[in-house]
Amino acid sequence: MKPRTSNPLATPPTAPHACAGWLHAVQGGLDALEQALLQGDALAVEKASMALHLSLQQHPEATARALPGSTLRAEIEAAARRFAQLRQALLRASAQSQRAVASLLPQPLASTYGRAPGAANGGAGRTYLSA
């Protein structure tokens, strides 16, 4: 009987096909997200983000065991960098939208040091004396 010499970290022969399909789905999700961001379509961005999130959750186990320096590892890292760039673009777009809404619909500022409405004109207020 011949001793077993296989590497336990090596991916099974069917794993590259599953990983290739998964990477293709992730790349497609990133493409859709990028396109929606470029168009400025908030609903499309939300849909593309949800679809990408679902495809990222369905990763094959082989992706976790991708050996450093392998083609699979390089493709996963490239997709991760692209995802990080798109995430930053999405955060910038969100902040820009929030600033635009805040400039169009300003919120009344809360009076921090002023007297509360309906407070007496002189002396210490009731809240101060009750403390």
- pLDDT for 10 equals 42
Q: Which value, in Å, is the radius of gyration of the alpha carbons in the chain?
A: 27
Pair 25, 48: CB distance under 8 Å: no
Pair 22, 11: CB distance under 8 Å: no
- Give the list of residues 6+ apart from residue 47 with CB closer than 8 angstroms, or none: 32, 36
Q: pTM of the predicted model, to two decimals? A: 0.58
- pLDDT for 32 equals 92
Domain boundaries, given as residue ranges, for the chain: 15-105
Residue 47 has pLDDT above 90, yes or no: yes
